[in-house]
């Protein structure tokens, strides 16, 4: 019984981890609290659904495709709207990204209605026993894919020139500029990368749970908590934060009841903000 709870918590946390990583990057490095993030995630879910229904592409193969589509959308949003218009500071980015959310949400409602949708794959019913705990195959696959993606992201940030450039900009904007890094390009790549993670996480979500445009707000709530728990812009922090949120929610439901699930995450977030605003794993490093 306890093992089952632990497994559930980990498997749920894996999806949160991937979801939170993109939001954390956009906030911590590009300095944009992207309130459209939830809409981007759900858009990724719908793209995966369309790919599955029309071209019979497996939802797990749909993850990179959704990610690629959202990468382009994210780049367009940053270049077209956020970069030129958000000079006035936080109020402006908040309101602009919220406006983008409204547009995306409206488009999804019109295209696909407010009904909850699911993707049913042939192997959806397969599951196996792990020392008495019941583990569905799709959930395990989703967890593994999420962790691999987070690892690839880490490699990108550590090994490639662009990734190092992004880290340099996050560490010291002026210093990065002084050594010849095109900082606006780094912000652009980073924002687009975060959007791609949103799309990928959405496709991943669609392979396990049902989705609808109504989930947009709830997703934003989750990624806020994950990003704060892990420390902004910190990839492994986001992964740990996601798993921690999975554990907290699962434990919260079994100890306090399902109706307190949402508020538990919020309370943890505010507590971490007050106690360690740079995240549980983070160093005092971002502004």
Residues that bind other proteins (CB under 8 A): 27, 33, 81, 84-85, 87-88, 90-92, 94-96, 98-103, 105-107, 109-110, 217, 221, 224-225, 228, 259-260, 262-263, 266-267, 269-270, 273-274, 277, 287
Residue 180: phi and psi, rounded to 5, are: 90, 20
To other proteins, the closest distance from the beta carbon of 274 in angstroms equals 5
Distances 190 to 153, 198, 208, 227 between C-alpha atoms, Å: 11, 12, 27, 15
What distance in Å separates the CA atoms of residue 21 and residue 237, rounded to the nearest whole number?
8
| Residue closer to other proteins, measured from CB, 215 or 228 | 228
| Residue closer to other proteins, measured from CB, 187 or 224 | 224
To other proteins, the closest distance from the beta carbon of 24 in angstroms equals 12
| Residue closer to other proteins, measured from CB, 84 or 132 | 84
Distances 185 to 28, 32, 83, 85, 92 between C-alpha atoms, Å: 16, 15, 11, 16, 21
| Residue closer to other proteins, measured from CB, 101 or 139 | 101
What distance in Å separates the CA atoms of residue 167 and residue 162, rounded to the nearest whole number?
9
C-alpha torsion sign, points 105, 243, 68, 145? negative
| Residue closer to other proteins, measured from CB, 28 or 200 | 28
Largest CA distance in the chain: 58
Distances 167 to 156, 162, 275 between C-alpha atoms, Å: 11, 9, 25
Residue with tokens 């496709």: 203
C-alpha torsion sign, points 12, 241, 149, 193? positive
Helix crossing, 59-77 with 137-159: angle to 10°? 40
Q: How far, in whole angstroms, is CA 180 from its chain's centroid?
A: 31
What distance in Å separates the CA atoms of residue 107 and residue 283, rounded to the nearest whole number?
40
To other proteins, the closest distance from the beta carbon of 33 in angstroms equals 6
To other proteins, the closest distance from the beta carbon of 85 in angstroms equals 5
To other proteins, the closest distance from the beta carbon of 238 in angstroms equals 15
| Residue closer to other proteins, measured from CB, 100 or 208 | 100
To other proteins, the closest distance from the beta carbon of 207 in angstroms equals 28
| Residue closer to other proteins, measured from CB, 89 or 180 | 89
Structure tokens at 53: 């229904």
| Residue closer to other proteins, measured from CB, 23 or 52 | 23
């Amino acid at each position: 019984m306890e093992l089952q709870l632990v497994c559930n918590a980990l498997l749920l946390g894996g999806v949160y981890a991937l979801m939170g990583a993109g939001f954390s990057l956009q906030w911590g490095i590009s300095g944009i609290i992207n309130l459209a993030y939830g809409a981007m995630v759900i858009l990724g879910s719908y793209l995966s659904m369309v790919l599955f229904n029309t071209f019979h592409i497996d939802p797990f193969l749909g993850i990179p495709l959704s990610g690629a589509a959202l990468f382009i959308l994210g780049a367009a949003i940053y270049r077209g709207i956020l970069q030129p218009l958000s000079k006035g500071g936080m109020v402006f980015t908040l309101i602009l990204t919220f406006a983008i959310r409204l547009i995306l949400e409206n488009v999804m409602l019109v295209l696909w209605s407010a009904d909850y949708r699911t993707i049913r794959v042939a192997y959806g019913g397969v599951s196996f026993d792990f020392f008495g705990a019941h583990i569905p195959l799709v959930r395990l696959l989703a967890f593994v894919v999420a962790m691999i993606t987070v690892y690839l992201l880490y490699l990108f940030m550590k090994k490639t020139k662009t990734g190092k450039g992004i880290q340099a900009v996050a560490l010291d904007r002026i210093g990065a500029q002084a050594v010849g890094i095109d900082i606006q390009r780094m912000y652009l790549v980073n924002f687009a990368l975060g959007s791609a993670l949103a799309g990928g996480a959405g496709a991943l979500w669609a392979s396990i749970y049902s989705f609808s445009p109504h989930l947009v707000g709830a997703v934003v709530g989750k990624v806020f908590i994950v990003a704060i728990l892990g420390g902004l812009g910190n990839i492994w922090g986001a992964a740990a934060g996601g798993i921690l949120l999975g554990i907290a929610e699962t434990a919260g439901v079994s100890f306090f009841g399902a109706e307190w699930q949402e508020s538990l995450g919020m309370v943890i977030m505010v507590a971490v903000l007050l106690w360690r605003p740079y995240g549980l794993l983070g160093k005092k490093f971002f502004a």
